[in-house]
Structures are given as C-alpha cells and as structure tokens.
C-alpha cells in the first residue's frame, strides 16, 4: 500500500502490529484475569485475519498483478472462518469494550519497531495488502427506499437520466429535466484549444501534459493573462492540486505569475485538511473580488471549492476549467467499476459502458465545478473551457456538458466551438462591456 492509504483501512502491516501487541499483552503479568479472555479472543481473530491477508498477498505476488478481485460472498465466507464474519460482530464489540486501562498501558509500551536482518540492518515491510469493499451497483444501497411512499431526487448532475435511474434500481415514473434559471444571453461560453494560431494545441491529457509541460505552462499563462480583462473575481479549476502547484511554480520562473499578480490578487485553494485556512482564503478572495482590481482563485475539481460553495455575482464573473478531470486509470476502484459497466452494458442500451461511464464520471466533476458560478437569473458570467479535446473530439466530449453550457458555446462561421484565445478575446470583451 502507498503512503496515501487512509488511516482506517485494514492493511497487513497494521494487522501484524495489532496481533503482536495483543500477544505481548497476553504474556504480561499486568493483564487482569477478567480481561484475559477478551484479549485472547481478539488475538485469535487478528492472527487468523493476518494469515488470511498473508495468503492473499502471496496470491497477488504469484499472479504478478497489483490486486485480486474477490466476490462479496467469498469475502464473507473467508472472514467468517477467521472470526470476523457478520455473526461475530457483537462478540468482537464486547471484547473490545472490555479492554481496560491496563491493556492500554501495555499497548502504549509496545510500539511496532522496524525489524533487523541477519547483519543488523534495519528494514521495514515493503509489501503490504489492503482490504477495500467497493460497491459497484448503487442499487444495493438505494434499495432501502423501495418501501417509501414516494422518493424525490433532485440534482444538477444526474444526466443522463436514463442511466442514473437504471443504476439506482427503482423506476422513476415522473422525470423532469429543466433549463438553467439564467437566461442564455447572460452566459458567454467558449472552448479554447490554444492561445493563438501559431501555438500548439492544448490537448491536456496525462501524456501530452507530461511531454509538453513547459510549452503548455507558457501558453496557459498567456491565456489567463488575457482572461484577466474580466472584472472582479475569476475562478480557475484544474484536475489536481499537484498540477496547480507545478503551473504556479513554472509561472514564477517564467514571469507569468508576476504579470497575473499585477492584474489580479492571486489565491490558491489550500490542502483539504486545512479547513480553517480554506474558510479564510474563500472569505479573503470574496472581499478582494468585490474591488475594482479583483482576484483570481485557483481550485481543484472534485475539491472542496467545487462542491457546494457558491460564487455569485462579482465573486465569479469568469470561471475557467483547465483540462478534464479524468480519474487516474491505476485506481483499482475505478478499474473495477469500468469492468463492471462493460459487462452489464450489453443487457440494456441505456446502461453506460465502461468508457461512457468513465467520461460521465469526469464530466460530472467538471460540470459541478462550472455550477459554482452564475447562481441566479440576474447573474452573468463567462465559462471558459481550456482543452483542445473539445475540438479534436467534439462529438465525443461536448455531449457530456450540461445543456445550458453546451448551448451557449461561442462558435465560428463553420460551427466549431473550440478556437484560439486570441480569436475569443474581442467577443469576451464585448460581452463583459455590455454588463459593466
């Protein structure tokens, strides 16, 4: 497992630590007799679970893969055999609740140390295994609503409706999809494929971004500088925090950062763990966005600022997305879900196949970020999507945009929605001028 493994996940290393601590507690004369039985029950259970995970790790290594898929039925059977099945939960809760302060004292005296090899060199386990339960079928959890008199579900990111209702496993006799409350003329939307005709296309997938990073950074710097003609607040969303950090670092070296900072005060979304910092930065940004100079805030799609925080009126006169937030292909949860969708897609034409689900998943995050701005009928603003894939694969990607955005996309005389920033600037300027 990696360093990013959540603390609450069961891993082989953690189970090994717990087992050794319980074994040491059993060997200690400090352990009270009335607690010993409970400690022994837990030690037996964790030792069995450790052996189970060891066997799973051996199977992973033997298969030369990074993971093994196990059915839920097989998992329940295996966990029951080692004392962790559904029927054991109550007993385990009793055992844990009876661990008194004497056991806690023994535990605190038993830190898990690195091991030593025959030559006295310290080392740590380099291989580990983690146990994750993944729900591939939302209908499993939504089943609890089947006995309700009525269920009302409302969301801005449910499209396509046919696929969403099938995934939830219950029929929705009445369905309604309505237009945005904001008039179409209050929205200026454009897909930007490059800065100028002389620039390379900004196909911002992982491979192109890696191979053309510096060229892309410079182009993006010029594009953001042009967008700063929009008054007050500008939101810029990117797929990951790491890409924001790399982009800002590159701009500091090339000089783009100083240019942008002279046009707008710059704010960057903090790490998700820093909730107090996040609240403070949002408040500072909104105050600065109300000024004549304005502000620009860089944030992460799928992050805190893209979900549930609204930026109305002067807080977001322009919203920019850089790239499409496709989830990492090495994510095992994602791989399992894509494989599952591919398997069931043949049964019903309304069910998304693996690739369609993958795209829909990415665009739900992108559409959710777009929805942070233009919040009421009198509001107005620009939506700017930076990525040449909207022109290279227009039919492939544009259909996943929310209708109110897709219908507002500025197009050239040939109907193309994706153009250079240089071509878009006069139209963007005219749109802004009509409101200020």
Q: Are residues 301 and 168 in the same domain?
A: no
| pLDDT averaged over every residue in the chain | 84
Q: Are residues 124 and 91 in the same domain?
A: yes
Q: Are residues 155 and 112 in the same domain?
A: no
Per-residue confidence (pLDDT) for residue 130, from 0 to 100: 64
* End residue of a domain, out of 96, 131, 166: 131
Q: Which residues, at least 6 apart from 258, have a Cβ–Cβ distance to it below 8 Å? A: 252
Q: Which two tokens stand for residue 297?
A: 């805030």
- What range defines the domain where residue 315 resides? 184-433
Res. 385 pLDDT band, cuts 50 70 90: very high
pLDDT tens by residue, 227-266: 999 999 999 999 999 999 999 999 999 999 999 999 999 9
What mean pLDDT is predicted for residues 211-227? 93
pTM for this structure? 0.74
Q: Are residues 100 and 139 in the same domain?
A: no
Q: Are residues 122 and 138 in the same domain?
A: no
Q: Is the pLDDT of residue 209 over 70?
A: yes
CA diameter of the chain: 86
189 contacts 219 by C-beta, under 8 angstroms: no
267 contacts 298 by C-beta, under 8 angstroms: yes
Return the higher-pLDDT residue of 86 and 368: 368
Q: Are residues 195 and 238 in the same domain?
A: yes
Select the highest-mean-pLDDT range: 129-143, 228-242, 380-394, 404-418: 228-242
Q: Are residues 264 and 344 in the same domain?
A: yes
What mean pLDDT is predicted for residues 385-392? 89
> For residue 148, which phi and psi values (nearest 5 degrees)?
-70, 150
Q: Are residues 102 and 167 in the same domain?
A: no
Q: Is the pLDDT of residue 146 over 70?
A: yes
What mean pLDDT is predicted for residues 57-68? 75
Q: Is the pLDDT of residue 184 over 70?
A: yes
Q: Are residues 156 and 73 in the same domain?
A: no
Q: Are residues 340 and 387 in the same domain?
A: yes
Q: Number of folded domains in the chain?
A: 3
Res. 125 pLDDT band, cuts 50 70 90: very low
Q: Is the pLDDT of residue 109 over 60?
A: no
Q: What is the CATH number of the domain that holds 258?
A: 3.40.50.300
Res. 10 pLDDT band, cuts 50 70 90: low
45 contacts 82 by C-beta, under 8 angstroms: yes
Res. 143 pLDDT band, cuts 50 70 90: confident
Q: Are residues 221 and 302 in the same domain?
A: yes
Q: Is the pLDDT of residue 112 over 80?
A: no
Q: Are residues 227 and 147 in the same domain?
A: no
Res. 4 pLDDT band, cuts 50 70 90: very low
357 within domain boundaries: yes
């Amino acid at each position: 497992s990696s360093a990013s493994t959540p603390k609450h996940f069961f891993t082989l290393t953690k189970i090994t630590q717990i087992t050794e601590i319980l074994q040491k507690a059993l060997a200690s004369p400090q352990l009270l007799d009335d607690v010993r039985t409970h400690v022994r029950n837990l030690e037996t259970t964790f030792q069995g679970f450790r052996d189970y995970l060891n066997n799973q790790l051996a199977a992973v290594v033997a298969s030369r893969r990074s993971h093994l898929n196990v059915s839920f039925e097989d998992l329940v059977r295996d966990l029951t055999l080692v004392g962790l099945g559904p029927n054991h939960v109550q007993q385990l809760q009793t055992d844990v609740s009876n661990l008194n302060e004497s056991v806690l004292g023994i535990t605190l005296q038993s830190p898990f140390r690195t091991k030593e090899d025959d030559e006295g060199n310290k080392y740590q386990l380099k291989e580990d295994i983690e146990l994750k339960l993944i729900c591939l079928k939302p209908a499993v959890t939504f089943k609890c609503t089947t006995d309700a008199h009525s269920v009302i579900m409302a969301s801005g990111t449910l499209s396509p409706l046919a696929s969403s209702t099938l995934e939830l496993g219950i029929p929705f006799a009445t369905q309604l999809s309505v237009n945005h409350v904001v008039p179409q003329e209050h929205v200026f939307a454009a897909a930007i494929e490059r800065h100028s005709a002389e620039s390379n296309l900004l196909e911002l997938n992982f491979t192109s971004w890696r191979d053309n990073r510096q060229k892309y950074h410079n182009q993006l710097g010029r594009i953001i500088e042009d967008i700063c003609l929009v008054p007050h607040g500008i939101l810029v969303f990117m797929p990951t925090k790491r890409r924001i950090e790399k982009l800002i670092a590159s701009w500091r070296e090339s000089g783009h950062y100083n240019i942008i900072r002279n046009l707008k005060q710059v704010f960057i979304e903090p790490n998700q763990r820093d909730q107090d910092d996040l609240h403070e930065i949002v408040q500072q940004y909104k105050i600065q966005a109300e000024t004549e100079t304005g502000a620009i805030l860089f944030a992460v799609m799928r992050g805190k600022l893209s979900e549930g925080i609204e930026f109305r009126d002067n807080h977001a006169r322009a919203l920019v997305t850089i790239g499409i937030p496709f989830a990492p292909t090495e994510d095992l949860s994602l791989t399992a879900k894509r494989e599952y969708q591919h398997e069931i897609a043949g049964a019903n034409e309304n069910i998304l196949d693996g690739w369609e689900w993958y795209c829909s998943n990415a665009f739900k995050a992108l559409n959710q970020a777009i929805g942070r701005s233009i919040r009421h009928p009198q509001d107005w603003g620009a939506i700017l999507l930076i990525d040449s894939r909207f022109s290279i694969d227009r039919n492939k990607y544009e259909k996943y945009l929310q209708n109110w955005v897709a219908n507002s996309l500025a197009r050239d005389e040939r109907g193309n929605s994706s153009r250079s920033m240089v071509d878009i600037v006069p139209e963007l300027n005219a749109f802004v001028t009509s409101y200020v």
